[in-house]
Every structure is written in structure tokens, then in C-alpha cells.
């Protein structure tokens, strides 16, 4: 870790933090009266962070594969705040399933509430997903791409965490194709700390899993695709040895 990259990382993190309320306030009048305005404000922030990462910390963001444009389930590997921004920016009408605490975050909470994101309480995840599916099927939510993190939380690159049943429940009940998404974003933007590593952060939209698999078969296939590709993306970074993945 060189000193210059540390300085760049600190400056980048500072401006990204300041940009959140600035962009949030700029789009607030539109977002207050329109879901479209809320989506536009969040997309503006995502694009700002992605753009500034490119020239401030030499971190380029790359989306691979073909993101869905119609109704679909998106089951993504979650390593970093960066992969959230990249996935959000790649999808035309995403609705994330997120922990309930974020509902009260300044600016973010108000925006995602307006966009009808799904808030779940840890420990009550099954009930929340069942309620969400009922609302989708009743037509009270617009069609879009439902984004779930099947492991339930962020995981460090190279680590293995169990895949929970939530994604399988959605897959069974919605009867939509499921797009697995792999990433290596955690290598460059870790869960903790300010240091940002230069390189190419990738989110990879893999070929969809068609509806109709049994629950256990679906979970096994989802895990195999996401973990295999995420490990391959980790090796592309050139620092896989730091994570025990030589």
C-alpha cells in the first residue's frame, strides 16, 4: 500500500461522502413527488462514485454479461458497497432487498423507501420475503428486477458463507428467471477501512437459471455459479494470494 494511493483513497472517500447529501438535496424536490425522480437521484450518485473512482483512485468498474431488462430475480454476491452501486447502475428497474436499519439512513432511507425497496429484519427474513412475494403477485409493486443477496450479508473475497433459503423462496414463487451475479469488488473496496486498491472491479451477470428447479437443486446451482466465477474474478486481480486463492 503506497502513500500516494492512501491519500487518493482518503480524498475519494471524503468526496463520495460529501456528494451523497449534495446529490440527495439536488434531486429531493423531484424525488418527493415521483418514484422516477428517486431512481434518477440514486443513479446520479452511483454514476458519480463510479466515475470519480476511475480518475481519483485508478479503479475502473466493469459490468460483464447481460443484465436483465424485464422482470427477473437477481441473486448477487455481496462484497462491498461498490457492487451495490454497480448492480444498481446496470439495471433499469431494480428493487433491492435490504436490511431494515438502512430505512433510517439520511437521504438513502428516504430515497429507497420512495422506490419501494424491500426492508427485512434479520431473524424475520422468511416472513418479510413471503409478504413481499404476496405484494408482487397482487400487483402492488411495478415489475422490475428484484435483487437479493443469497448469503444475507457481505462476505470477504475468497471466503465461503452459506447460501440462505430466501433466494430459493423467491425463485419458486415468482417463477421468473434468476440471474446469478459474481463479483470481485471487495478486493478493491473492502468492508472496512479507507484504502481503495487500484484495478478493475467487476460484476458479472451470468446466464439465467430458468424457472422450475427444485429448491435444493436451485441453491446448489446458484452457489456453484456464483462462487466459481467470483473465485475466477479474484484470480484476475493478481492479488488472489492475499486471500488464500493462489
Look at residues 90, 100, 108, 82 and name the one whose alpha carbon lies nearest to residue 179.
Answer: 90
Q: How far is Cα 144 from Cα 72, in angstroms, rounded to an integer?
A: 7
What's the pLDDT score for residue 131?
A: 66
What's the pLDDT score for residue 122?
A: 64
| Residues present in the chain in total | 246
Q: In tens digits, what is the pLDDT along the chain, a chain of 246 residues?
A: 689 999 999 999 999 999 999 999 999 999 888 889 999 999 999 999 999 999 999 999 999 999 999 989 999 999 999 999 999 999 998 988 887 776 767 777 788 888 878 777 766 666 666 766 666 665 556 678 999 999 988 899 988 899 988 899 889 888 899 999 999 999 999 988 899 999 999 999 999 999 999 999 999 999 999 999 999 999 999 888 888 766
Whether residue 61 contacts residue 86, with contact meaning beta carbons closer than 8 Å, is answered with yes
Whether residue 210 contacts residue 204, with contact meaning beta carbons closer than 8 Å, is answered with no
Amino acid at each position: 500500500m503506497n502513500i500516494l494511493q492512501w491519500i487518493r483513497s482518503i480524498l475519494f472517500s471524503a468526496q463520495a461522502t460529501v456528494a451523497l447529501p449534495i446529490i440527495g438535496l439536488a434531486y429531493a424536490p423531484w424525488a418527493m413527488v415521483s418514484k422516477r425522480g428517486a431512481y434518477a437521484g440514486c443513479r446520479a450518485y452511483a454514476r458519480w462514485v463510479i466515475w470519480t473512482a476511475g480518475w481519483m483512485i485508478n479503479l475502473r468498474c466493469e459490468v460483464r454479461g447481460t443484465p436483465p431488462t424485464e422482470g427477473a430475480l437477481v441473486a448477487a454476491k455481496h462484497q462491498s458497497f461498490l457492487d451495490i452501486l454497480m448492480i444498481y447502475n446496470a439495471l433499469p428497474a431494480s428493487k433491492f432487498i435490504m436490511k431494515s436499519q438502512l430505512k433510517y439512513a439520511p437521504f438513502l432511507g428516504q430515497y429507497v423507501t420512495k422506490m419501494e425497496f424491500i426492508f427485512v429484519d434479520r431473524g424475520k427474513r422468511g416472513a418479510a420475503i413471503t409478504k413481499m412475494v404476496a405484494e408482487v403477485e397482487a400487483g402492488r409493486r411495478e415489475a422490475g428486477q428484484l435483487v437479493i443477496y443469497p448469503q444475507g450479508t457481505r462476505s470477504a473475497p475468497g471466503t465461503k458463507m452459506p447460501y440462505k433459503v430466501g433466494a430459493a423462496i423467491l425463485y419458486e414463487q415468482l417463477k421468473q428467471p434468476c440471474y446469478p451475479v459474481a463479483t470481485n469488488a471487495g478486493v478493491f473496496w473492502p468492508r472496512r477501512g479507507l484504502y481503495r486498491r487500484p484495478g478493475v472491479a467487476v460484476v458479472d451477470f451470468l446466464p439465467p437459471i430458468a424457472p422450475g428447479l427444485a429448491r435444493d437443486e436451485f441453491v446448489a446451482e446458484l452457489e456453484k455459479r456464483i462462487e466459481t466465477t467470483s473465485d475466477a474474478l479474484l484470480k484476475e486481480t493478481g492479488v488472489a494470494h492475499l486471500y488464500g486463492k493462489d
